Chain A
Amino acid sequence: MNEKFAPEILQHKSDLVDTIQQLLETQAERITELSERDFLLRSIYEMERERVEYLLRVYLRTRLQKITKYAIHIGTSVEVQSRLSESERSFAQQYLELYKEHMDASIWNSADCEMLPAKLKDLSKMATLAVQPKTSSHVFARVMRDCEPFTLSDRAEEQVELKRGELVLLPYQPLANLISDGSVCLT
C-alpha cells in the first residue's frame, strides 16, 4: 500500500516479490494435486491464491503506472533508476526511447525545426513533459510506532509528534524516511 499512495516510486521489494511468486507456484502445484472430488477444498485454495496474486499484480501495475508517468524524470536520475528492478529498468528505457521517437516524428520533423539547436529539443528540459513526482502532496498515514518529533518543512517551526495507532493526513516529504523504516504506513 505504501507504493500505491506514495507520490514517488519507492525501492523495488524484489526479495518479497520473488518469494511471493515462488509461493504462488508451489500453491498452484498443490491445487493440481488435490483430488477432483475435493471440490470445496480446491475452491478455497484457489480463492486464496487469487487474492494473493491480485495483490502482487496491483503492486507491479502501480509501479508501471508511475514509470510511464515519470519516464523522463527517471531517465535523468540514476538514484531513481536504482530503485527499479531489472525488468522495470529496461521497460523504462524502452518506453523513453519510443517516446522520444514519437516526439521526433510527430513534432520536430513535421515543421521547420531543422534549424533549432538540439539543446532546445531535449525533452528532459521541458518542465511540462518531464513530470516530477509531487513529494509535497498530502497522504494519509497510519503510525505504527511512536516517532521522534519532527518539523513538516524547513520553514515550519512547529514540531509534530506522532503516537502509535494514530491516523493522520500530512505532507509526504517528511514521512519518506519513516515509511522506509516502517514507522508509518500509508493507507
Chain B
Amino acid sequence: MGSRASEAGSLRASEVAYFAGETAIQIVPRIKLDVLQFICGDVPELKPNFPAEVPLWLAVFLRKRDKCRIVVPAWLEAENLAGTLDDEKRHQDRFAQLPYHYVEIAKELLTHASEDIVDIHQIRNVLADIEDHRRAKVERGLRNIDADTSIVRVSNLGAMELNRIRLVAARALNDFRTLDVHAASGSGGSGIGVTGATRAPTMGTVGAGGERLEAALRRRDRMR
C-alpha cells in the first residue's frame, strides 16, 4: 500500500478506518483522567469504574495500555447480531440496519478488546455470515445496474462496503450515461442499432467489475 495519498474521488481502506475512529464508544476507565480539551471538543473527566463515552480511537488507545475496559456496543452483542443475520436473510431487497462503520468498529474491538467480549468466537462467526450475505446482495445489485438506472439507493450499506464498490458502480453508471447521450443524438432506427451494439460491451464492464470485486474480496480475506 505504501504511504501514497489516495486520489480525489477515492479512499483507501485505511482512510475509511480513520473516519470510524470518531465513533463514540462506551468504556469503563481504570484510571482517573481530567477533562480532555480536544480540538474537536472536550471529553468529560474519566473516573475509575464510571462508564463514559469516548471516541473509538481513544478507547482503543487506552485499552492497549490496559487503562480501561471496553463495553461492547449493543449491536455487536451475539444475540443482536443473530437477529441482524435473520433480518439480512429474510429481506433480500435491502440491507439490515447496522452502524455505518460497523466493519471497522467490529474489527478494532475484536482485535484490541477481545478479553472484554464474551462469546467472541460466536460474534466473529455471525459477523462473517452477515458480511457474506451483504456481499452477495451487493454483487447482485451491481449486476442489476443497466442503462435505465439513474439512481441507486443503498441505504444502510456500510462505509467499507460502499468504498469497495465506489469506482466500479460509479463508472458503470457513467459509461451508460455517456452511451445514452450518444444514442440519443443518433437518428431513428440506426440509433437503436447503435445502442444495442454498444450496450453489450458495457454489460461486460459491469460483469468484469463484479469479477474485480470478487478478486479484491478474496485478497482481503487472505489478508485476515
Contacts and interface: CB of A to CB of B under 8 A. Distances in A.
Interface of A: 3-5, 7, 20, 23-24, 27, 30, 40-41, 43-45, 47-49, 51-52, 54, 58, 61-62, 65-66, 69, 134, 136-140, 152, 155-156, 158, 160, 165-171, 187
A3 B151 CA distance: 21
Nearest to A64: B8
Interface in B170-194: 170, 173-174, 177, 184
Interface of B: 5, 7-9, 11, 15, 18, 21, 33, 36-40, 57-58, 61, 65, 67, 150-157, 159, 162, 166, 169-170, 173-174, 177, 184
Provide the main secondary structure of the chain B interface. mixed
A24 to B, nearest CB: 7
B11 A167 contact: no
B16 to A, nearest CB: 10
B55 to A, nearest CB: 9
B8 A156 contact: no
A49 B61 CA distance: 14
Given A156-B150, A166-B155, A169-B152, A140 B39 contact: no
Given A62-B8, A69-B8, A140-B170, 16 more contacts: A4-B8, A43-B61, A44-B61, A48-B39, A48-B58, A49-B39, A51-B21, A54-B18, A61-B5, A155-B184, A158-B150, A166-B155, A169-B170, A169-B173, A171-B177, A187-B162
